[in-house]
Structures are given as structure tokens and as C-alpha cells.
Amino acid sequence: MDATGDAPDGWTVETRRTYTPAETDRELTYLTYRHDSGDLRVKVAPAALDGDDHPGYALRATQYPGLELAETTRVRTVLTFDRCDRIASQFMQLFSARYDGPGTLEDAFEYASERTRPHR
């Protein structure tokens, strides 16, 4: 995947927006992907959009989007959009490899999350 927001196999770009906040002249990007099953949405967006007091971009994933039992988890926060989008691509590929095999949504989500978290 590259900075144009092309989705990995098994994923679709759901939303892609760029905007310039009033207090800055820096253009920001908001991008969401949806797994072809419809069971997972991945969002790359400025961290401040979700109330974080953190500069940069946050990668968030929502299990069962649109349903009452939907659960959103912040997977990782990094400084730049390009870095966050690369991590999102890695997350989506790891998720698909596990989910399209013998794993459940929860197992695949945990597998991808663990492997895209920063090393400690």
C-alpha cells in the first residue's frame, strides 16, 4: 500500500478525506478501510480527532462496525500519516492472514494488534 490509500487484498477504502484545520495551514488526512467481511473497520486519522491529547496520527480498529456491540480500540499512535498508513497496511495483512484461515475475528484482531504494537 502507498500514500494514495490503496487497500490491501480483502480490504476496501471506505473513506478518504483531506482537510486543513482553521488554526493551521497544514493539510491533514482521514482514511478508513473496511474488511470485505464487513466485520472490521480500520481508521487512520489525526489523534486529536478522537480527543487524544497527542500529536500525530492514531490507528484505530472497530470490530463489528455499525452494530450495537461494536468496539473500537486504539492500536497505535505515531507522528506521521505515512507511517500510520504503513502500520495500518501491516495490521490489515496480518488480520486477513489469520481471519481468512482458522481464526475468529477476536483471535485475528489480537494477532494483528500484538504484531503492530511498538516493541518495548
pLDDT tens by residue, 71-108: 999 999 999 999 999 999 999 999 999 987 667 999 99
Tell me how far CA of residue 105 lies from CA of 6, 75, 109, 115, in angstroms. Answer: 23, 15, 6, 16
pLDDT tens by residue, 35-49: 999 999 999 999 887
Structural domain spans, the chain: 11-116
Phi, psi of 119 (to 5 degrees): -75, 140
pLDDT of residue 52 exceeding 80, the answer is no
Of 18, 11, 69, which is closest to residue 46 (Cα–Cα)?
Answer: 18
pLDDT of amino acid 120: 61
pLDDT of residue 28 exceeding 80, the answer is yes
Whole-angstrom Cα distance, residue 5 to residue 114? 23
As given in the structure block, the three cell numbers for residue 56 are: 500525530
Tell me how far CA of residue 58 lies from CA of 9, 67, 89, 98, in angstroms. Answer: 22, 22, 13, 23
